[in-house]
Amino acid sequence: MHKVLFIDKPKGITSFDLCFKLRKVFNTRVIGHTGTLDPNATGVMVVLLNNACKLNQFLVKDDKTYQGKVKIGIRTDSLDIDGKVLETKTFNNIDFKVLQLKSQEFIGKIKQKPPMVSAIKVNGKKLLEYQKDNQNVDIKARDVEIFDFKLFNFNGDEFEFEASVSSGTYIRVLIEDLLKSIGVFGILLELRRTRVGGVRIEDCDLLEDVLKNNYQLKNPLDILEKKYPLIEIENYKDVSNGKKINLDCKEDEVVLVSKGALLAIYSRESGNIFKCERGLFWK
């Protein structure tokens, strides 16, 4: 069973906990996902079963959409409601229209520093481990892209938002930087991922249903054909050996198939010469 599951992660469990529960449902230890959600966050997770895990490096890059709620006037060490409170302050007469205008300045390619609570490693050690040990570390800013950013439903010290962003974007940092731009601070109260690539929240199964064996598994080919052109290969001996091949096509990345079976993902090396990025042979 080399399939893909779209699931709506519930609040209160880690992404690891979710996969642990699913291992029992599908009777496999080979399981992965294309993007972690914090315990307090909910929403779309794309779960890969068995050999479908080979697709992770291609699906993890998908852009995402989030919806959430922000509380102004509280600062925590994690930038969200789960962290240790460091400071509280009342900010009066916040001009929400100004904040909305500021949000538009973030649209496009920006630099962003990962938060200290992240699992990103510096010198072989996770940032969150540095934080636990009260150690300072130089965090390099990364390139991310904000495609859309909307703020609404302001009530004095809380507001809601929706943001569509590139993979690798930290929403809590985006909110922190936005609030800093008008001289205030706040935290994420709620966060829900409503889209990962072409997968939307309405496409997802609920965990409670999956645990009752009520779910729909997806064929990896159905997902890949929405991202890459499919090229039918008749003689795939060279492909099965991971050799470079000659292809006459416009796209730089393609999925090779034979009679509906996945073979490999190839990318252009130069001219019409394509090299193997990942073999996808499985029964």
**Chain mean pLDDT for the chain:** 91
For residue 184 the two structure tokens come to 């205030």
Q: Is 96 left (phi over 0), alpha (psi -120 to 50) or beta?
A: alpha
In the Cβ-directed half-sphere of 257, how many Cα atoms lie within 13 Å? 16
In the chain, helix, strand, coil percent, each to 5?
A: 20, 40, 40
Q: Do 98 and 24 fall within a single domain?
A: no
Q: Do 271 and 159 fall within a single domain?
A: no
Q: Is residue 241 part of a domain?
A: yes
- Model confidence pLDDT, tens digit, residues 23-67: 999 999 999 999 889 999 999 999 999 999 999 988 888 999 999
Q: Is residue 242 part of a domain?
A: yes
CA distance 257 to 263: 5
Q: Do 58 and 74 fall within a single domain?
A: no
Catalytic residues: 38
- Model confidence pLDDT, tens digit, residues 109-136: 999 988 766 666 666 656 666 556 666 6
Q: Is residue 160 part of a domain?
A: yes
Confidence tier at 259 by pLDDT (50, 70, 90): confident
> Of 3, 37, 61, which Cα lies nearest the Cα of 119?
37
Strands annotated E in the chain: 4-9, 31-33, 42-49, 64-72, 74-76, 85-88, 108-112, 121-122, 125-126, 142-152, 158-165, 186-196, 199-200, 205-206, 217-218, 230-232, 245-246, 253-258, 261-270, 273-279
Q: Is residue 203 part of a domain?
A: yes
Q: Do 207 and 240 fall within a single domain?
A: no
Q: Do 210 and 237 fall within a single domain?
A: no
Q: Do 104 and 120 fall within a single domain?
A: yes
pLDDT of residue 117: 65
pLDDT of residue 3: 94
Q: Do 82 and 179 fall within a single domain?
A: yes
pLDDT of residue 116: 65
Q: Do 269 and 203 fall within a single domain?
A: no
> Cβ neighbours of residue 180 under 8 Å, at least 6 residues apart?
none
Q: Check if the beta carbon of residue 81 is closer than 8 Å to that of residue 187.
A: yes
Q: Is residue 173 part of a domain?
A: yes
Domain that holds residue 96: 69-189
DSSP state letter for 116: T
Q: Do 75 and 185 fall within a single domain?
A: yes
Q: Is residue 223 part of a domain?
A: no
Q: Is residue 93 part of a domain?
A: yes
pLDDT of residue 1: 79
Average pLDDT over residues 258-272: 92
Q: How many domains does the chain have?
A: 3
Q: Is residue 114 part of a domain?
A: yes
Q: Do 185 and 78 fall within a single domain?
A: yes
Task: Give the CATH number for residue 160.
Answer: 3.30.2350.10
Task: Give the CATH number for residue 246.
Answer: 2.30.130.10
Q: Do 129 and 239 fall within a single domain?
A: no
- Model confidence pLDDT, tens digit, residues 152-176: 999 999 999 999 999 999 999 999 9
Average pLDDT over residues 218-242: 88
Q: Do 38 and 73 fall within a single domain?
A: no
